Structure 1
Amino acid sequence: MGKDRWQLMPEGFASIIQQMAVLFSIIAVGYIANKTGLMGREFDKHISKLVLNVSLPAMILASVLDVSEIPSRSDILTTVVLAFFAYLVLIAIAFVFCFVVRCRKGMRGVYRFMLVFGNTGFLGFPVVAAIFGNEAIIYASICNLPFNLLVFTIGAWFISSDSEEATPVRVSVRTFATPALIACLVTIAFALAGVCAVPFAGPALSTLGSFTTPAAMLIVGSAMANMPVRDLLGNPRLFAMAVVRLLVTPAIIYLTLHAFVSNAVLLGVLVVTCGMPVATNGTMLCYEYGGNSKVMAQGTFITTVASLVSVPLLVLLLG
C-alpha cells in the first residue's frame, strides 16, 4: 500500500452509500420494534448496559486479537499520538461551538459529545476500506483506540456533569473504571507488545463484539420512536452542529495536520473518521448517565442522514 498517495477504490462510493443504507435499515427496525411494544425505555436501558459492559469490550479487544498483522511499534505510537491530538482539536471545537451558539445548561454536554465523538467504528471502518482499501483498516483500528479511551472518560463527563436531572451524576475514578475502558487499555498494551491473531480468543471476541453494532442501532431507533415524528428533525442549532461535525471538523483536522503528516493514507484516515456522524453509543451513555437522550437521538439521526451526502463530498474535496 503506497503511503504517499491514495485514491478512491473501485465502487467506493457505492460501498459507502450501501453501508449508510444498512445503518438506516437497522435503525428503522428499532423504531418499529418500539412502536410495536418489543422495545421500550426500560428494555433499552438493559440492552445498553449489556452492550457497554460485554459486547463493546469484546469488540475493542478483537480489534487487535483477531487481526493477522499490525504496524510497527513506532507507527502505532505515531498514530496514537496523532489521534489524541485530533481529539484535542475536536474538544476545542466543541467548547467554541457551545459558546458561539449559546447552548443552555443541560444541553452543553450532549452537544460537546456529539461534536467530539463520531461513529468511527461501524461506519468509519467500512468507509475507510472503501476509500483506501482493506490494508488501511489497521490505521482506523489504532485511531479508534483513543476514541474508546476518551468516550468513557471525557465523553461520560460531558454527559453526566451537565445532566438535566436535579442532581447531576457525580463522576469519579470508579465511573471511568468501565469494562470498555479496561479493554481499551489492554488492547493498547497488546498492540505495543505485538500480540495479534490469537487463536480461539480473537474469533470468539470478534463474534461477541459483532452484537454491538446492531444493538446500538436498534437502541437509537427505539429512542427515536419515543419522540413525535416532527421532533426528529430537531432545531437550527442541531443543523449547525451537523455542518460542523461532518464538514468543518474534518477540514480543520486536515489543515492542522497535512503539513506535518507525510503518510497520506494515515492523514486521510484521520480526516475521514473525524467526518463521521455522531457516535451511536451516545444514546446509550445518555441512558447510563442521565443525559438528554432525545437531543442525542436527534443529532444521531440528522448527522447520519446528512452523511449520505457529506462523506462522498468530503472524499471528493480531499481527493
Structure 2
Amino acid sequence: MTAVLNQVLVFGVFLLLGFILKKKGFFNEITDKAFGDLVVFITLPSLIISAMQFPFSKKLLLESLILLAISFSYYLLVTIFAEVVVKYFRLSRGTAGVYKFIIIFSNVGFMGYPLLHAIYGEIGVFQAAIYNIGFQVFNWTVGIALLKGESIKSIFSWEQVKMMFVNPGIIAVAIGLSLFSFSIKLPPFLAEALKEIGAITMPLSMILVGSILGELPAREIFSDFKLWVLGIIRLIILPALTFVILFFLGIRGVLLAIPVILAAMPAAANTAIFANKYGGDAVKGAQGVFISTVLSLITLLGWIYLLSYFKII
C-alpha cells in the first residue's frame, strides 16, 4: 500500500515539474515533440528489452501465453466498449478519439512496471511486458486510428497493418522475447546501458504530460466533467469487470492480479504524447491523464487492498 501511494506521488511531482517548466518558458511545442519522439522511439523500447532479460523456463512460458491471450481478449472487448460508451458523449471526431483512447489504454508501462516491481520484483516486470504486447499491437493500430479521427475499419489498411508489426514497441518486445526464448544474456555494458536509458522513461514521459498541461490555464485542468466520468470508467468499472470475469473463469494468482492492476492504472501517459504527434486533441489527452492520475491515488490503494483481501497478491 505504501509503495502504491509513494509511486503515485512521485508521478505527481513530475507532472507538476513539467507544468511549471512550460509556464516558465523552458518548454515549447518543439521540445514537446522532441521529447515525445525520444520516449516513443528510444527510452520505452530500451525499458521493454531490459525488463525481458530472464532465463527461459516452461512454467514462465505457459504463464506468458495465458497472459497474452487475456491481454488480446481484454483490448478487443474494451475497444468495443469504448466505441459504445463514447457515442453518448456527443463529441467531435478528434476529441472522441482521445476519449476512446483514454478508456482503452491505461498507463501500463510508466506506472504499471514500477508498481508490479514493488509487488512481485523483476518477474512482475517481465510478465507485465508480455501482457503489454496486446497494448502495443492495439496502441499502434486502433489507438493511432482513433487519434487521427479515422474509423477503426482503417486499421485493416496496409499502412496500419504494417505499423502493427513495424513499430518501436513491437520490435522491442520481439527482441526481448528472442533473448528470453534462447536464454541470451546481453553483454553487461549493453544491459546496463539499456536499463539506464529505460529508467528515464517514466520521469520524462510524465514531465512531458505536465508540459502539455501547461498550455492550459490552471483553473481549466479539472473543468471537464466528462473526463471525470471517464476517470471513473477507467479506474473502477474496467478493472472491476476484468476482476469479475477472470475470477469466475477460475484465473487466480499473478495471472489475475496483473490484468486487474494494469486495468486499474490511470490513462496512458502517451495519450497526450500520441495525440500531439498524430493530430488528436493533446490538451484533452493531458487533462485526462492528469485527472485519472489524481483519482488513482485513491482507487489503486483500494484495488491493492481488494486483491490482498482475496489473497490474490
**What TM-score do the two structures reach when normalised by structure 1?**
0.86
Q: Secondary structure at the match of 2:210?
A: helix
Query: Could you tell me which amino acid in structure 1 is paired with residue 101 of structure 2?
Result: F
Alpha-carbon displacement from aligned partner over 1:19-50 (angstroms, at most 9, x marks no partner): 11110111111111111211111111111112
Select 1:18's aligned residue among 6, 27, 48. 6
Contact 2:56 2:181 in 1 (8 A): no
Select 1:47's aligned residue among 21, 35, 51. 35
Whole-angstrom distance in 1 between the partners of 2:176 and 2:126: 13
- Rate the CA distance shift 1:195–1:224 in 2: closer, same or farther, 3 A: same
Matching residue of 1:9 = none
Whole-angstrom distance in 1 between the partners of 2:298 and 2:272: 23
- Rate the CA distance shift 1:124–1:172 in 2: closer, same or farther, 3 A: closer
- Rate the CA distance shift 1:124–1:195 in 2: closer, same or farther, 3 A: same
Query: Could you tell me which amino acid in structure 2 is paired with residue 152 of structure 1?
Result: W
Matching residue of 1:92 = 80
Aligned length: 300
Whole-angstrom distance in 2 between the partners of 1:270 and 1:289: 28
Whole-angstrom distance in 2 between the partners of 1:146 and 1:191: 18
Contact 2:133 2:170 in 1 (8 A): no
Contact 2:46 2:195 in 1 (8 A): yes
Give every structure 1 segment of 4 or more consecutive aligned residues whose post-TM-superposition deviation is greater than 6 Å. none
Alpha-carbon displacement from aligned partner over 1:186-209 (angstroms, at most 9, x marks no partner): 333444444456533322211111
Overall identity of the aligned pairs, in %: 29
Extract unaligned runs of 5+ from structure 1: 1-12, 164-169
Query: Could you tell me which amino acid in structure 2 is paired with residue 181 of structure 1?
Result: I
Matching residue of 1:31 = 19
Whole-angstrom distance in 1 between the partners of 2:163 and 2:133: 19
Extract unaligned runs of 5+ from structure 2: 152-157
Query: Could you tell me which amino acid in structure 2 is paired with residue 187 of structure 1?
Result: G
Asked if residue 262 in structure 1 is aligned to residue 251 in structure 2, the reply is yes
- Rate the CA distance shift 1:260–1:194 in 2: closer, same or farther, 3 A: farther
Asked if residue 122 in structure 1 is aligned to residue 113 in structure 2, the reply is no
Query: Could you tell me which amino acid in structure 2 is paired with residue 305 of structure 1?
Result: V
Asked if residue 183 in structure 1 is aligned to residue 172 in structure 2, the reply is yes
Whole-angstrom distance in 1 between the partners of 2:176 and 2:24: 40
Contact 1:162 1:291 in 2 (8 A): no
Contact 1:31 1:225 in 2 (8 A): yes
Matching residue of 1:104 = 92
Select 2:272's aligned residue among 283, 289, 294. 283
Contact 2:106 2:266 in 1 (8 A): yes
Query: Could you tell me which amino acid in structure 1 is paired with residue 40 of structure 2?
Result: L
Alpha-carbon displacement from aligned partner over 1:206-230 (angstroms, at most 9, x marks no partner): 1111222111111111111100112
The alpha carbon displacement at 1:292 in A equals 0.4
Q: Secondary structure at the match of 1:113?
A: helix
Of 45-54 and 96-105, more deviation after overlay is shown by 96-105
Higher helix share: 2
Select 2:226's aligned residue among 237, 242, 258. 237
Asked if residue 301 in structure 1 is aligned to residue 260 in structure 2, the reply is no
Q: Secondary structure at the match of 1:118?
A: coil
Asked if residue 250 in structure 1 is aligned to residue 269 in structure 2, the reply is no
Whole-angstrom distance in 2 between the partners of 1:196 and 1:154: 34
The alpha carbon displacement at 1:175 in A equals 4.8
Whole-angstrom distance in 2 between the partners of 1:271 and 1:174: 30
Matching residue of 2:155 = none
Query: Could you tell me which amino acid in structure 1 is paired with residue 306 of structure 2?
Result: L
Asked if residue 57 in structure 1 is aligned to residue 55 in structure 2, the reply is no
Of 70-79 and 132-141, more deviation after overlay is shown by 132-141
Q: Secondary structure at the match of 2:280?
A: coil
Of 108-117 and 148-157, more deviation after overlay is shown by 148-157
Matching residue of 2:136 = 148
**What TM-score do the two structures reach when normalised by structure 2?**
0.87
Q: CA RMSD in A?
A: 2.3
Query: Could you tell me which amino acid in structure 2 is paired with residue 47 of structure 1?
Result: F
Of 305-314 and 151-160, more deviation after overlay is shown by 151-160
Contact 2:75 2:104 in 1 (8 A): yes
Contact 1:160 1:171 in 2 (8 A): no
